[in-house]
Chain A
């Protein structure tokens, strides 16, 4: 069964802390997406990657294909980073997104 597991499910941190959210998947993928969902429901695509590392501002996403694992890092976290972060993968031969259950991040000022 193709599954996507995220950890932790919930994370509370102080403003300024370095944040790491993890995503593991079960078989080979063609791409992995990191998404951000704020209260109210809108989803924003943060990264799409199939290898290596990408950086955008304070956000960094990495993927290890051999380990079937990806991480999303947030440096110098800020209360506006509070949201649910969702990992989604595209498995080879299965053109659709399979989603993790999400990580609820709360940054306290």
Chain B
């Protein structure tokens, strides 16, 4: 079974721009969750999608949004980028969400200049 894939792996953007990151879960998994990792704040939960519905959201501003498609692939979007958005963005998939094992993707490293 193929693992979780994320595209792109690396991205450089300018302040004020927007960015869309993609996550393809393991086949058959219906839950995708997103995380931000920075040296200062560590790993933080962004949101979780299950069957195209957002089930939970972390404490991030509305500039961070996401969606999930019928094939369970998920995208997250960050609008009006700030320097502080520079981070490693990870997604994880699981069969039914939390309470089940999480499988992480390799991450997208976003640099905002």
Contact = CB atoms under 8 A, between A and B. Distances in A.
A40 B105 CA distance: 12
B55 interface: yes
Contact of B43 (A40, A45, A99): A99
Contacts of B42: 99-102
B90 A95 contact: no
A42 B106 contact: yes
A70 B104 CA distance: 22
B75 interface: no
B45 A48 contact: no
Interface in A70-109: 86, 88, 90, 94-102
Interface in B42-75: 42-45, 48, 55-56, 58
Interface residues of B, number: 26
B104 A42 contact: yes
B58 A96 contact: yes
A97 B33 CA distance: 9
Q: How large is the interface on A (under 10, 10 to 19, 20 to 34, 35 or more residues)?
A: 20 to 34
18 contacts: A30-B98, A35-B104, A41-B106, A42-B106, A45-B102, A45-B104, A48-B100, A90-B99, A96-B33, A96-B48, A96-B58, A97-B33, A97-B35, A97-B45, A99-B42, A99-B44, A101-B42, A102-B42
Interface of B: 33, 35, 37, 42-45, 48, 55-56, 58, 88, 90, 92, 97-107, 109
